[in-house]
Structure 1
Amino acid sequence: MAPEILRGKEYTKKSDIYSLGIIMNEIISIIPPFNDEPHDLQLALDICRGKRPKIRDETPEFLKELIQKCWDANPENRPSSEEVLNKIDTYENDHYVQIELKKLPELTYNFTSITKSTSKTQLYEMHAQAIYTSRFLNLSNLPERLNQDTTDVDDE
């Protein structure tokens, strides 16, 4: 959920772009966002203070940059859906990007193979309070937007 939504603002296309960044990262990493911590008021505060999900080191740089732009604390700095699509279209014709993209199926295949071979175990630990269902959290008085240093995002 976008930080501005946690603060009680209206949903907008820009908050959807934030969610798109979350989804892109989850697809690439195969790990739900903030799976290792409680989904509570503290997490909401941390998100409003600039905390974002971890981006795997293996993620191609151009995708990291796009995801991080989608996560900008200021909704006005996030790309529009048209800009995201145009960015992806330009990647199609970029030789370097194509080389990086070819690595993704291999990564995904490796994770899929591991998942199938360890049917009862997970690739990641889930915190007992990392709840992925709707519920009420009193999120009044959250801080205004902040962007966390991107080096913190990758190193957590």
Structure 2
Amino acid sequence: MEIDLRKYLQQNHNQLTWKKRINITYEIILALYYIHKEKAIHRDLHSGNILYSQSNDYWYISDLGFCGPADKSSTSIYGNLPYIAPEVIVGREYTFASDIYSIAILMWEISSGQPPFINYEHGNDIVMNIINGIRPKIVPGTPLEYKNLMKECWDADPLKRPDAYALAIKVNELNLYYQNMTDDELFKSEMDNLEMNKVEENYTSCRLFTSKIHNFGNLPEPRNATEGISV
């Protein structure tokens, strides 16, 4: 039996430890690394097509219909809006770095238990926030290393984002650190973080959270927001 990441978080987030969250993140990034290793770009990563195989106990990436060679051009913007990289929104080609941006949003979703930009009703508001560097507010209790990697991955400049290989190595190091913590260390860490990361199960209709073709007009160049501004 399989379940997507969105439903998995709805059902389990308040019981998830950071040890488990980081392990999930690592498996997703590793799956993306293997896609990129084949010189392919996914182009439509979101929590609806990240699947967990309950029988085999592992995470993988599905919906490879728009996945293709890195040199494959695209004449339209297709994707799930909150996960689309700012440079793609303003009309540039999808790249490996565009997938990495989507990974950052998935990392945030795993940390928060909520879909990104859940309080926005209109796509245009999300578009302007993304290109102006506004990102989802980082959840209190997020481990510093995880937070820093997430911020690197959603940088407005694609060249400043790590590639999938470098990201997999860094998250694996963090994963191993948590796997090797003593029971006492884990208990203290997880109790603190579970309390700070408890969320209400309050989800909108998810009208925005589906993949479709988008047509945006002339937009300004993407930029990073002033430090501390986030939503």
Is TM more than 0.5 here? yes
Letter of the 1:147 counterpart: N
Q: Does structure 1 residue 148 correspond to structure 2 residue 225? A: yes
Give the match for residue 63 of structure 1: 146
Contact 2:123/2:208 (8 A) holds in 1: no
SS in 2 for 1:151: coil
**Structure 2 unaligned blocks of 5 or more:** 1-83
Report the TM-score when normalising by structure 1. 0.76
- Call closer, same or farther: CA 1:15–1:91 in 2, change over 3 Å: same
Give the match for residue 190 of structure 2: 103
For 1:34-45, what aligned pairs fall within 5 Å after superposition? 34-45=117-128
Distance in 2 of aligned mates of 1:68 and 1:51: 11
Q: Does structure 1 residue 133 correspond to structure 2 residue 210? A: yes
- Call closer, same or farther: CA 1:75–1:131 in 2, change over 3 Å: same
Give the match for residue 119 of structure 1: none
Contact 1:73/1:145 (8 A) holds in 2: yes
Letter of the 1:145 counterpart: P
Distance in 2 of aligned mates of 1:151 and 1:138: 30
The alignment-based identity, stated in percent, is 35
Equivalent of residue 124 in structure 1, options 202, 207, 221: 202
More strand by share: 2
SS in 1 for 2:225: coil
Distance in 2 of aligned mates of 1:69 and 1:39: 27
Distance in 2 of aligned mates of 1:86 and 1:146: 27
SS in 1 for 2:211: coil
Q: CA deviation at 1:135?
A: 3.8
Report the TM-score when normalising by structure 2. 0.53
More helix by share: 1
**Structure 1 unaligned blocks of 5 or more:** 115-121
- Call closer, same or farther: CA 1:135–1:65 in 2, change over 3 Å: same
More relative contact order in 1 or in 2 (CA 8 Å, sep 6+)?
1
Q: CA deviation at 1:94?
A: 4.8
Provide Cα deviations, 1:71-109, integer angstroms capped at 9, x if missing partner: 0000000011111112123324658x95589528x629x
Give the match for residue 52 of structure 1: 135
Please report the RMSD computed on the Cα atoms of aligned residues, expressed in angstroms: 3.1
Contact 1:41/1:138 (8 A) holds in 2: no
Q: Does structure 1 residue 12 correspond to structure 2 residue 95? A: yes
